Amino acid sequence: MEDDVKKFLYVNRKAPYGTIYALESLEVVLIGAAFDQDVSLAFLDDGVFQLTKSQDTADIGVKNFSPTFRALGDYEVTKLYVEKESLEERGLTADDLQEIVWEDEDDDYEEKPSIRIVSRAEMADVMADQDVILSF
Amino acid sequence: MKFGILISEGPYTHQATDSAYHFVKAALEAGHEVPRVFFYHDGVNVATSLSVPPQDERNIQQQWSALAKDHGVDLVVCIAAAQRRGMLDENEAKRQGKTAHNIAEGFRISGLGQLIEMGIETDRLMTFGD
Amino acid sequence: MATLHTVNKSPFANQSLLSCLAHAKDGDTVLMIEDGVYGAGKGTGLAEAMTAMASRVALVALQPDLNARGLVADRILDGVKTVDYAGFVELAASHDRTQAWL
């Protein structure tokens, strides 16, 4: 292991709002960003619903935390893997997801997409390449 | 080997805390180390000192407190999750102007950074939840 | 570099076991605990798929959870091994990482 940097993967398989898991998972990601580890997020199964556009929680009296995903780039969390099959099974495409970008300071602060749509097989590869997997 | 344990479901409703307890006991018996257990989501409710289960049932809080006492396991309760759910230690109760506190012996309240640190410093992270 | 996957949901209530099996790599171990042990049953709608998986991943069920649910030995799929909590700890130690399919 190099310099004590571990690969952390946060696995999100649950939809937002019905339960608190998605929000409290995001809280761990934000705190964890201060630890300078190699962080990735995985969204599969119902977890893909966390990233959809047009969430409006005004009438259920719960905080809408979906804008927070767009701030992840400021925390240097730039790898959000989203499983293609999970989207398709739920009638979604990449266009139904929020645009999430990060600024690459090594490339003249160019904005680059954080969301990476991957196949199920590629997602399995991402999972198998980690040191620590946190599931909520 | 060092095991870190994350518990993310509450006691009595779900088996997760029991599974975690049996896992930790077996790990310690096998000579492994369990430096820390982190309680998150409804898992924070394990730490209440006010739980009074029937006499013929296991007392989940006391089981964990005993592990802390006998094996030095650091039982950490997430402060953000705990405050949402009415779990306060003496200092926090004072700070928030509350009249009572309910963190049982052997548990301590701290931040989510303790979970990340556990992931960094242990060899395996085990998650028990719903 | 193998992974120990744990599944604690009945596959008849929720997709976790199927999703886990769809992401497990050859040589990984899938350990069924809590209500997950119902996935180890014989004669279920999933039995055929489970048996097919057994050739590439190790399928294991936690004996104390089988016992609690009355899943006696002759009701368990061929090819599913069982462990106690000490065996669970050994599996966690002998794999490179663990992933809980909550």
Task: Return the structure tokens found at B56.
Answer: 């013929």
- Give the active site residues of B: 78
Residues 6+ apart with CB under 8 A from A80: A40, A41, A43, A51, A69, A72, A100, A114, A115, A116
| A8 in contact with chain B, both atoms CB, cutoff 8 A | yes
**How far does chain C reach from its first CA to its final CA, in angstroms?**
22
Specify the pLDDT at position A71.
97
CB atoms closer than 10 angstroms to residue B107: 25
Residue A1 lies in a domain: no
Say if CB B110 and CB B82 are below 8 A apart: no
Residues of chain A with pLDDT under 70: 1-3
Say if CB A53 and CB A67 are below 8 A apart: no
pLDDT, chain C, mean: 97
- DSSP-assigned beta bridge partners for residue B103: B48
Chain A residues within an 8 Å CB radius of C1: 128
Specify the pLDDT at position A1.
47
Burial of A52 (0-12, 13-18, 19+ CB in 10 A): middle
Structural domain of residue C57, as residue ranges?
3-101
Say if CB A52 and CB A86 are below 8 A apart: no
Say if CB A48 and CB B128 are below 8 A apart: no
Task: Return the structure tokens found at C35.
Answer: 């209500």
State the Cα–Cα distance between residues A49 and A92, nearest whole angstrom.
9
How confident is the model over B30-63, as pLDDT tens digits?
999 999 999 999 999 999 999 999 999 999 999 9
Specify the pLDDT at position C96.
97
- Complex-level ipTM beyond the 0.90 threshold: yes
| B25 in contact with chain C, both atoms CB, cutoff 8 A | yes
How confident is the model over C13-56, as pLDDT tens digits?
999 999 999 999 999 999 999 999 999 999 999 999 999 999 99
- Please give the domain boundaries of chain B with CATH numbers for all domains: 2-128 (3.40.1260.10)
Average pLDDT (C60-77) is 97
- What total of structural domains would you count in chain C? 1
| CATH code for the domain in which residue C31 is found | 3.40.1260.10
Specify the pLDDT at position A3.
60
- What total of structural domains would you count in chain A? 1
Total residues belonging to chain B: 130
| B129 in contact with chain C, both atoms CB, cutoff 8 A | yes
Element (H, E) at A125: helix A120-127
Nearest CA in chain A to B129: A136
Say if CB C50 and CB C77 are below 8 A apart: yes
| CATH code for the domain in which residue A95 is found | 3.40.1260.10
Specify the pLDDT at position A136.
87
Structural domain of residue A94, as residue ranges?
7-135
